[in-house]
Amino acid sequence: MSTAVKSGPAATDSAGVTYRTPKKNRSGWNVLGIVVTVLMGFPVYWMIITALRPSQEILSYHQKLYPSSVTFSQFKRAMDMPNFWDNVKSSVIISAFSVVIAIGIGLLAAYAIGRFKFWGRRGLIIALLVIQLIPATSMLIPIYIQLNKMGGLNEYWGVIVVYAASTLPFAVWMLRGFIVNIPKELEESAMVDGCSQMTAFRRVVLPLLAPGLVAASIYALMTAWNEYLFAYVILQDNDKYTLSIWLLKFTGQRGTDYGALMAGSILIALPVVIFFLFVQRKVASGLTAGAVKG
Amino acid sequence: MSAADTHATEPVTGGRPQLPSPLTTRPAAKRTGRAAGRSRQSRSLPYLLIAPALVVMIGVLGYPLVDTIVLSFQDERRNNLWNGVAAPWVGFDQYTSILGDSEFWTVVVRTVVFVIVCVVGTMAAGLLIALLMQRVSNWVRVTMSSVMIAVWAMPLLVATSVFKFMFDSDYGLVNQLLTRLPGVDYTRHNWFLNPTTGMGIIALLVIWGAIPFIAISLHAALTQVPKELEEAARIDGAKGFGIFRYVTFPIIKPVFIMTSTLSVIWDFGVLGQILLMRNGQPEQDYQLLGLYSYTQAFTVNSFSRGAAISVVTVLLLSGIAVYYLRQLLKIGEVE
């Protein structure tokens, strides 16, 4: 039915789906499901408890599966690392701008592709798909050289432009999937009632597109927040690095400070996980279905 | 959206006077325009809408791509960046030097093996988990998908740090647990001394990180398989695996193929995990194509050699890419 649901990160989960299967004995499957959950979730659990336990338990030859006491000292040490707040600022600025740019530009293009037939449409779609297939690392070298010429090295805008551009193709593709699934009749009836195409878009399509926009934004946000390679190559000052690069500081020549590293990791992952969990349901809610029937 | 749809919705928009241009070139939605002026404006509208995206894509993605190819025929080094001297043209020298280098071929073979292991592992585990998610109670499914999302949302470098800790030679949990088994002593065992087990751990990390996307996508696809089809097959006497093979799988096949081709492409680009696991200086035995190109460009400082390796990588991937593209376009047409 919808490509967006299949390819979009957030839209894919179907927590809201109800099953009409007859009552069956599911306990065997449930046990298996729990085992899988434990195995998949264990590294996450290990990260969390390592961050919460005292240092002497971390550097121990007798690791326990649960902490004997809970302390936030690892978090404190992580946040006391030099440049933590500078790098939070870098990450926020870079992610926010690249998401807004990618989604803004992407929405326009997705609407054109999803609703209009125009010369070059197919070519554009193919270009969008082809670009996604090229490993980002292969563009690293020329982008580095080009930004060097344009004075974009060690500047936020250099990274923002790269992130916005690299998330754009998939964002367009995702949004197009959502737009195609919004019945055209809704827009058409608005236009019969006297709206212009653009007004119909703003008043009718945009509100229905909210889940799609959220899904595409999550995708762009996660990409920008988690990216490290371009940030590492383009940015050069300690106070301009993003949080992903900041993580590298915990590994020194004399070994790795695992407690602070795990605490730092949580600090970085937390905003994304919370955001993801929070908007997940919104994405899954079938807004369009109601709009057509109602 | 097809031409047929456009025509089908025609009556809805009302029988307004239309311009004598071919019907299929403009969508029905715009023919509600009251005047020809509006119509002319809306003909250029799609181009206005795609213009910003085109500019960004050509500028930041298209141009560098062409530049990669140009670079690979030159000899650009780091000092060319600073002294402003144009890099000399060297023709196919970079390519002959790379292709004649047995080290490069070792890296290619290692990359292919690594990608196969990772993709097969990810797809098998992802599919099994997706099927399992269909069979469990609601609360288990919610738990499973929450954990998946937590794993999915973990930044790559974060996930790598956790695995690094778990497999640490001194304080790693894995060594300590293994040592508890009778007759096994893994105290201070360094998993990364042997590149095969080292790469195995990196593959495990890649697979673990990729499972959520695959499992959730496949699960979404599975929910679209009509229950009636499976029931009908069951009534006709099909057994569990037969139903999956002949009824369920053909329906989820497009998603399965798409996610597996995507996995191939992603796993070809594995880089940061190795870099962090090996403390920023991976040994020769840990080089994969993406990392190799990066090392040549930014550590050895030969941008052109790195670019040439990238071009070869893209060419190696292009077969898979074309296949992926055709699948996607097929799906695009169905809708």
What's chain A's length in residues?
A: 294
Beta partners for B322?
Answer: none
Interface size, chain A vs chain B, as Cβ–Cβ contacts under 8 Å: 338
Residue type, A61: Y
In this prediction, the answer to ipTM > 0.85 reads: no
Q: What is the SS3 assignment for B263?
A: helix
**Highest-confidence segment of A18-27, A85-94, A275-284, B318-327:** A85-94
Residue A55 has pLDDT above 80, yes or no: yes
Query: Over 80: is that where the pLDDT of B162 sits?
Result: yes
Q: Which of A121, A7, A138 is nearest to B62 (CA)?
A: A138
Asked whether the beta carbons of residue A276 and residue B153 sit closer than 8 angstroms, the reply is yes
Other Cβ atoms closer than 10 A to A30? 18
Distance CA B29, CA B20 (A): 16
At B108, give phi and psi (nearest 5°): -60, -50
Work out the mean pLDDT of chain B and round it to a whole number: 82
Show which of residues 195-214 on chain A sit within 8 Å of chain B, judged by CB atoms.
196-197
B290 CA: distance to closest CA in chain A (Å)? 6
Q: What is the pLDDT of residues A253-291, one digit of tens each?
A: 777 888 898 999 899 888 877 777 766 655 544 333 333
For an interface test with A, the pick among B74, B141, B161 (most A C-beta atoms closer than 10 Å) comes out as B161
The residue count for chain B: 335
Give mean pLDDT, residues B59-73: 89
Q: What is the domain partition of chain A in residue ranges? A: 25-71, 75-293
| Residues of A in Cβ contact (< 8 Å) with B288 | none
- CATH fold of B95-334: MetI-like fold (1.10.3720)
Digit-coded pLDDT (tens) for A56-74:
888 888 888 888 888 999 9
Task: Give the model confidence (pLDDT) of A206-253 as tens digits.
Answer: 888 887 888 788 888 888 998 988 999 999 998 999 998 888 888 777
Give CATH 1.10.3720.10 domain extents, chain B.
95-334
Q: Tell me the two tokens of residue A106.
A: 């992407």
A87 vs A75: CA distance, rounded Å: 16
Q: How far apart are CA B275 and CA B286, in angstroms?
A: 9
**The tokens of B96 are what?**
């002959």
DSSP states along A179-217: HHHS-HHHHHHHHHTT--HHHHIIIIIHHHTHHHHHHHH
pLDDT 10s digits, A168-190: 988 898 888 888 888 888 888 88
Query: Which residues of chain A neighbour B227 with C-beta distances below 8 Å?
Result: 20-21
Q: Are B335 and A180 within 8 A, CB to CB? A: yes
Q: What confidence score (pLDDT) does residue A105 get?
A: 95
What local confidence, expressed as pLDDT, does residue B41 receive? 59
pLDDT for res B40: 57
Backbone angles phi, psi at A255, to 5 degrees: 110, -175
CATH topology of domain A75-293: MetI-like fold (1.10.3720)
Check CB contact under 8 Å for A118 and B32. Answer: no
In chain A, residues 71-110 whose CB comes closer than 8 Å to chain B: 101, 105-106, 108-109
Residues B260-274, buried b or exposed e (16+ Cβ, 10 A)?
A: bbbbbbbbbbbbbbb
pLDDT of B161 higher than 60: yes
Q: Between A258-284 and A210-226, two packed helices, what is the crossing angle to 10 degrees? A: 170
User: Is residue A111 less than 8 Å (CB to CB) from chain B?
Assistant: yes
Q: Kindly report the CA angle at B289 between B91 and B313, in degrees rounded to 5?
A: 55
Backbone angles phi, psi at B302, to 5 degrees: -110, 95
- Phi, then psi, of A237 in degrees rounded to 5: -90, 145
Residue B241 is which amino acid? F
Residue indicated by tokens 């000292």: A73
Please answer whether residues A4 and A174 qualify as being in contact, where contact means their C-beta atoms are separated by less than 8 angstroms: yes
Q: Note the helical H segments in chain B.
A: 3-8, 10-13, 36-56, 63-72, 78-83, 93-99, 102-135, 138-153, 156-166, 173-180, 195-222, 227-235, 240-243, 249-268, 272-277, 289-298, 303-334
Burial of A164 (0-12, 13-18, 19+ CB in 10 A): buried
**Quick one: pLDDT at residue B132?**
95
* Partner-chain residue, chosen from B67, B227, B329, that has the shortest CB–CB distance to A20: B227
Question: Which residues 150-179 on chain B approach chain A with CB closer than 8 angstroms?
Answer: 150-159, 161-166, 168, 170-171, 173, 176
Note the pLDDT of residue A281: 59
Question: Distance, in angstroms, between B206 CA and closest chain A CA?
Answer: 13
